[in-house]
Amino acid sequence: MTTKARKQSYTIPCSSVFRDMVTKLAERRSVNVADLARSVLLVIPEDVIKTFPDPGGPPPGDREETVLKSGPSEGRPWRRKPRLQDRLSPGYDVSIVRRALNLALILDDGQHSVKIHNPETEKVEKAAQATLKAEAEQKAAATDTAKDNAKMNGEMKAEMERLQAIVSVLLFAPLNGGVTSRADALHVLGFAPSEMPDRSAVRSRFRMLATIHHPDSNYGNHQRMSQLNAAMDFLNA
């Protein structure tokens, strides 16, 4: 056996404009005003309803005319503040009921819509967003790595060009007449004509240049190697 829920009468002070809008909405939906308020109060949490504006009571001078239905003055007209009458479950604050009715108007006007929230769907959406974020970060990291590699390759290329420039300086032009003097020998070994290198310095310079001018190296040249050997013989004599 179902027990009928106890209802409470609520008097909702409001402006006549608000009253008329709510009443027309209820008529259009073929329900009463209490049904409008109840539908919002049952579906939308009270904390959310509180975030919407309260239209408040009637402004000064806003009155409606009604006819008294009982008492000594029955049948006489009476001007009073506009209001809405609802029968709802007990425990609601009048301002919450008024906000709920205002929210019904807002929803009907299309200013807001109700979204059904599914926690499982939210988990999937969050997982998808996390995946997209991770992919974006990986792509950014790959781009940074590519930039770093390009920078490194550029630095390596610059270093190679520098070394090639040094080597090109060491690639002396062979003397047409060969090594015939001490000055010629110093020139071939890369010393200044006025220098007096000792045997150790001469050998060290010869070994360095021999690795460059030896015919088996990338910059090898038989004529230059021959003149290096001649320069060593001349200076060691």
The structure's pTM equals 0.47
What are the residue ranges spanned by the domains of the chain? 8-113, 150-236
pLDDT digits (tens, 9 = 90+) for 154-194: 888 877 776 665 555 456 677 888 888 888 888 888 888 88
- The confidence score (pLDDT) of residue 18 equals 94
Which residue would you say has higher pLDDT here, 56 or 161?
56
Q: In this structure, are residues 214 and 220 in contact, taking their beta carbons and an 8 Å threshold?
A: yes
pLDDT digits (tens, 9 = 90+) for 21-32: 999 999 999 999
Confidence of residue 150 (pLDDT cuts 50, 70, 90): confident
- The confidence score (pLDDT) of residue 174 equals 79
| Whether the predicted pLDDT of 2 surpasses 60 | no
CATH of 150-236, one of 3.20.20.105, 2.10.25.10, 1.10.287.110, 3.40.50.10800: 1.10.287.110
pLDDT digits (tens, 9 = 90+) for 202-224: 888 888 888 877 888 776 778 88
HEC string of the chain? CCCCCCCEEEEEECCHHHHHHHHHHHHHCCCCHHHHHHHHHHHCCHHHHCCCCCCCCCCCCCCEEEECCCCCCCCCEEEECCEEEEEECCCCCHHHHHHHHHHHHHHHHCCCCCCCCCHHHHHHHHHHHHHHHHHHHHHHHHHHHHHHHHHHHHHHHHHHHHHHHHHHHHCCCCCCCCCCCHHHHHHHCCCCCCCCCCHHHHHHHHHHHHHHHCCCCCCCCHHHHHHHHHHHHHHHC
Q: Is the dihedral of CA 185, 188, 189, 190 positive or negative?
A: positive
pLDDT digits (tens, 9 = 90+) for 108-123: 888 777 666 666 666 6
